[in-house]
């Protein structure tokens, strides 16, 4: 069995504090922008919420500095909350947990499994829903991603992984199954970078930039 322990040092890591401040500022800017858009559309009475659960497959990555590190794909569930604050604009927050295996290949082409990392990606996205008729509702979105590593195992257990903050893009569609039930398909990309560190010294930089494909059911209320 793998031996896991919670990363109790992460909350005190200087980069974590810096990223948290940046994230808080980004949320503040987005909130002000959203309020301005809402004020411009004050005559529109649409205030519709949607709750979604998606099954997600996330792509793998073999981009690292130094090279020869590989982070494998993940299969997980995603929880989504949407708020439609105008006839064409929707704010979406989605969150999931990912368990990813990490391997490294040495010069002799021997592959060593470093065990797993547990990630918590959070996306905040503003979606544009074009005014189309019928039961199909496509959308495109842009926003930001914040990803935190909250637990590790194996060789990585005593290492630190820095949090990641970057842009996120989204493309998808809702299909009406009933007046309050939708079937959803969704593709997302987000920029993700994290450093594996030991005692404050960087060992490797990982570049994931995952593409996520998801599908699920949603309920409007």
What pLDDT digit, counting tens, does each position of 176-214 carry? Answer: 999 899 999 999 999 999 999 999 899 999 999 999 999
Asked whether residue 127 carries a pLDDT value surpassing 90, the answer given is: yes
| Residues in a beta bridge with 33 | none
Mean pLDDT taken over the chain: 85
Domain 4-220 coded CATH 3.50.50.60: no
Asked if 157 contacts 4 with a C-beta cutoff of 8 angstroms, the reply is: yes
Provide the Cα torsion 176, 180, 185, 190; round to 10°.
Answer: 140
Q: What is the DSSP letter of 203?
A: E
Asked whether residue 74 carries a pLDDT value surpassing 60, the answer given is: yes
Beta strands in 34-134 (DSSP E): 48-58, 63-65, 69-71, 74-84, 89-96, 98-105, 111-128
Find where tokens 């570049």 sit: 207
The pLDDT assigned to 10 comes to: 38
Q: Is the pTM of this model over 0.85?
A: no
Which of 4-18, 74-88, 118-132, 138-152 has the lowest average pLDDT? 4-18
Which secondary-structure segment (H or E) carries 39? helix 14-40
> Pick the residue with more confidence: 6 or 167?
167
How many Å apart are CA 122 and CA 120, to the nearest integer? 7
């Amino acid at each position: 069995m793998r031996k896991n322990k919670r990363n109790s040092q992460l909350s005190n890591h200087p980069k974590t504090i810096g990223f948290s401040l940046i994230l808080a500022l980004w949320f503040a800017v987005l909130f002000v922008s959203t309020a301005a858009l809402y004020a411009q559309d004050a005559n529109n009475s649409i205030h519709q919420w949607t709750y979604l659960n998606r099954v997600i497959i996330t792509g793998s990555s073999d981009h690292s500095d130094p090279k020869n590190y590989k982070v494998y794909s993940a299969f997980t569930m995603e929880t989504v909350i949407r708020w439609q604050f105008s006839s064409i604009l929707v704010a979406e927050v989605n969150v999931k947990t990912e368990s990813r295996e990490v391997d490294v290949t040495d010069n002799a082409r021997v592959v060593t499994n470093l065990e797993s990392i547990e990630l918590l990606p959070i996306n905040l996205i503003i979606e544009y829903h074009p005014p189309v008729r019928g039961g199909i509702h496509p959308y495109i979105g842009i926003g930001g991603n914040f990803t935190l590593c909250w637990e590790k195992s194996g060789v990585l257990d005593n290492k630190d992984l820095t949090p990641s903050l970057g842009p996120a893009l989204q493309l998808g569609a809702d299909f009406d199954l009933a007046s309050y039930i939708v079937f959803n398909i969704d593709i997302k990309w987000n920029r993700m970078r994290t450093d594996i560190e030991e005692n404050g010294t960087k060992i490797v930089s990982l570049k994931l930039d995952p593409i996520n494909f998801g599908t699920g059911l949603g309920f409007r209320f």
